[in-house]
Chains A and B, each alone.
Chain A
């Protein structure tokens, strides 16, 4: 059973399109995250939810909108995609005494 699963794994789309990435965790964790990993492998936190409530919203363009329908799901919707949005997006869930567990990532390529 995959602990944190995100779909799709690869996403190639044109500039200006709107796309969504879905994430689900079956670990019973309270906190979920979205991270962006750039071409230099730097991991930057975008959002964090705790029990469906947004607790961290870093400086991210408002074209990015997270949605958490329940504690086990955190989806990411991106409007009007730009070339600079190309990156690998990771979903994660955590409990502090257990660490954060990551999905396999979604490689987004905007052309």
Chain B
């Protein structure tokens, strides 16, 4: 199967920027996604990037894609306590129709 790797934990102070990193193995990935999961809730799609893009910005969120290194990152500017959650990286592989692979999730903790 495909591998999507993320670090498990990240702690930041309120107001700082957070950067959550993800690596993947499928070189034919077409779309890459970031999801947020708050305690006891479902997964919320935050943003996504098509594989022919390098960067996408959406308000406080910036997604960077380095296709050569198969590295995806999510930067959250001015992180707030409400951003504390688990963030999942996911990709749909071009070679695996319909299969949406998830990383194990990064627990982001924001300290006041």
Residues of B within 8 A of A50 (CB): 97-98
Determine if A45 and B100 form an interchain contact, defined as CB atoms under 8 angstroms apart: yes
Q: Interface of chain A, helix or strand or loop or mixed?
A: strand
Determine if A43 and B88 form an interchain contact, defined as CB atoms under 8 angstroms apart: yes
What's the Cα separation between A105 and B101 when bound, in Å? 18
Determine if A97 and B88 form an interchain contact, defined as CB atoms under 8 angstroms apart: no
- Given A50-B97, A55-B97, A96-B92, A102:B42 Cβ within 8 A: yes
Q: Interface of chain B, helix or strand or loop or mixed?
A: strand
Q: Nearest chain B CB to A101's CB is how many angstroms away?
A: 6
Determine if B42 and A105 form an interchain contact, defined as CB atoms under 8 angstroms apart: yes
Q: Which residue of B lies closest to A91 (CB)?
A: B42
Residues of B within 8 A of A55 (CB): 97-98
Residues of B within 8 A of A56 (CB): 98-99
**A interface residues with partner B (beta carbon < 8 Å):** 31, 33, 35, 40-43, 45, 48, 50, 55-56, 90, 92, 94, 96-97, 99-105
- Given contacts A48-B98, A96-B31, A102-B45, 8 further A-B pairs with CB under 8 A are A41-B37, A41-B104, A45-B99, A92-B43, A96-B92, A100-B45, A104-B42, A105-B42
